[in-house]
Amino acid sequence: MTQSPAPPLPSPKERRRLREAKSLSQAEVAARLGVTRETVRSWENGRTTPRGRKRGAYVKLLTAPDPATPADVEDETETETETERAAGAETEVTSRQEAVTEAEVEPEVEPEVVAEVEAAIEAAVEIEVVAEVEAEAEAEAEAEAEAERGGEPEAAGEPQRGGEVASENEGEPDPTAPPPPALTPPQAFDALYAFCTPALVRQAYLLTGRRELARESVERAFQLAWHRWPEVAVDRDPAGWVRATAYEYALSPWHRLRPRHRHPEAPPADPADRALLDVFLELPPVYRRTLLLYDGIGLDLPDTAAETEASTPAAANRLLHAREAVAARLPELAAPDVLHRRLTTLAATERLRAAKPRSVRYGSEHRARTWTRAAIAFTVLLIGATSLTLRTAPDHYEPPMAPGATVRGLPPRAAPGPLSDEQLELHAFLKSQTVSGPERLVPEAR
């Protein structure tokens, strides 16, 4: 069985030019083809291309001399059966699987992990294709319902040109209408905090086994996120940014030097939860983090490797060793799905509550002000010490003193000469009197 060659599809710019030449809006093209307006926009931007009968109908609509009527297009789109949609979805899944298979796999990755990654990618692709088919089916149903209600301008008896203008105005946003209110930075931060905090606190507790450290790690991560909010707000995955920061702070080795961490906290009440937590905390920090990201949260292997700053083979080996260590102590947790369920249950049993988002934002701002003032004070102190040094230091050269020299022209120093007879007699008398001890001398009048 041979397939007819697909009709040539114009380039994205040519598609838009042909549509505008026929005075058709994106909403009208979407209504005639039974797709959404976003799908037509992506076709004209070149991000996606139509496939199957949609491709032929789209090319016919753009290249036909006269615009096709909605009834003809609807007849063509209705002839597409669910079997053909499934075949198209299967073709897309097969092409993506071939792309994954053709990708270079490093020899260090275990075959079991590679099979799990391929299965996860296949499931994600199937979900995406099914969602796209369902979205197109809903769009077709809405178009049919609108046609039955007589909502199209042509069915209402209006002129062709006026109907096109009205449809274009309905599809395009009104420039005079006020724009929808955008979230302020505090509101966006509070929304991210409320969405991520409950799960992050439980994950940090599994990594550390300490409730206070878990709350502190999440709060410090969000404080840093608020301090760098212009960077975090445009990040591809703000939740992943905060999660990586919280994990880094929670697993820092400097916490063991803090006095509060010298004493262990109360373990879980359930013996099974206590055994699992003990086994989990005995793993090395990198193994613990890899196992939590892959089996606890459900990230795929490339994302896990990227978040742990390791290669994909290294992350796979860490995951396998961590599973083996857990299965050696707890054989009933050898299956990954059972381990995922037990980790989720263990994290959910602890009642861990973090601070309010407003308190976290205030703490971040207060911390930034404190460090700024400390930096300013240190700078002022350094400038003062430098100024004092420059003030008191000598500013010219002073030669050293010359060595001493003999001074001439002075009389010689007098030295004691020999004693006279009277002095010798007095000396002998005094010496004889003080042999037995000193006596009190009393002056006598003469």
Higher pLDDT, 139 or 154: 139
Is pLDDT at 341 greater than 70 in this prediction?
yes
The CA distance from 62 to 68, in Å, is 9
Domain extents in the chain: 12-171, 185-349
CA–CA gap between residue 332 and residue 233 (Å, rounded): 42
pLDDT tens by residue, 342-351: 888 887 877 7
Distance of CA 354 to the CA centre of its chain: 19
Model pLDDT for residues 308-340, shown as the tens digit of each residue: 889 999 999 999 999 999 999 999 988 888 888
State the distance between the two ends of the chain, measured CA to CA, in whole angstroms. Answer: 163
When mean pLDDT is compared over 62-71, 132-141, 367-376, 436-445, the highest value belongs to 367-376
DSSP label of 443: -
Average pLDDT over residues 245-249: 92
Task: Give tens-digit pLDDT for 83-109.
Answer: 445 445 444 444 444 443 433 333 344
Q: pTM for the full model? A: 0.48
**What DSSP line would sit under 338-381, residue for residue?**
HHHHHHHHHHHHS------HHHHHHHHHHHHHHHHHHHHHHHHH
State residue 21's pLDDT score. 85
> Does position 139 have pLDDT exceeding 70, yes or no?
no
- Cα 137 from chain centre: 37
Among 78-92, 99-113, 123-137, 195-209, whose mean pLDDT is lowest? 99-113
Instruction: Give me the helix-helix angle, 336-349 and 185-208, nearest 10°.
Output: 110
Percent of the chain past pLDDT 70, that is, above it, reads 69
The rounded distance, in Å, linking the Cα atoms of 433 and 446 is 21
What letter would DSSP give residue 403? Answer: P
Q: What is the pLDDT of residue 289?
A: 92
Lowest mean pLDDT among 6-10, 86-90, 161-165: 161-165
Average pLDDT, the chain: 75
Question: Which residue, chain included where needed, has tokens 């905060």?
Answer: 242
Q: How confident is the model at residue 134 (pLDDT cuts 50, 70, 90)?
A: low
The rounded percent of the chain whose pLDDT value lies above 90 is: 18
Least confident of 200-204, 215-219, 400-404: 400-404
Residue 222 has pLDDT above 90, yes or no: yes
56-69 pLDDT, tens digit per residue, is: 888 888 888 754 44
- Cα–chain-centroid distance for residue 147? 47
| pLDDT score recorded for residue 24 | 86
User: Pick from 375, 355, 374, 365: which is nearest to 229 by CA?
Assistant: 365
pLDDT at 344: 84
pLDDT-based confidence at residue 124 (cuts at 50, 70, 90): very low
pLDDT: is 157 or 194 the higher one?
A: 194
Residues recorded for the chain: 446
Residue 289 neighbours by CB distance under 10 Å: 25
